[in-house]
Amino acid sequence: MEKQMNMLEEQVDLMEDVERFQRATYERDLARIQEKLRTEYENTREKFGRFVDRLPDGLVLITSGAKYRQNRTETHYYRVVVGHHNTVSGPMTHIISAPNEEWPDVPPWAWDEWHKCQWIYPSNGLWVKKEPEYQPEVKWHE
């Protein structure tokens, strides 16, 4: 019994080490991304005003989102492309996930099994390169 307790304590110690390593890796990656956003990007409000309907089709943006993981909330960043679709109220802006090598993460809302929708309406926290990038071939297929 004592041997089993010792093994369990060792496993708990190992898990704590893994969690500390994962947390340190996350914080280092987050700091690198935030520095990149400060130096190479600007908030879309600064470039296009506060209305997202002014964002042009095909414009590449970076957006953030929260993920709950291992009893904590983490911020992740995703590459998306702007598009527009018609509604009864008129044209509406949406964003579509467009990962690449530099921004490989796919947002949780993209290709959601429940909603089966690859786009969402944009919200706060959108960054655009200081020299905007466009990828007009990314489209929402209704």
CB distance 124 to 95 below 8 Å: no
Per-residue pLDDT at 14: 66
Nearest to 81 by CA among 120, 112, 25: 120
Q: What pLDDT score does 113 carry? A: 66
User: Which residues have C-beta within 8 Å of that of residue 21, sequence separation ≥ 6?
Assistant: none
Rounded to 5 degrees, φ, ψ at 136 are: -70, -15
**Residue extents of the structural domains in the chain:** 42-129
Question: Can you give the pLDDT at residue 65?
Answer: 86
**Phi and psi at residue 46, to the nearest 5°:** -70, -35
pLDDT of residue 99: 92
Q: Which segments in the chain show pLDDT lower than 70?
A: 1-15, 70, 111-117, 124, 140-142
Tokens 């467009």 label which residue?
Answer: 98
pLDDT at residue number 115: 59
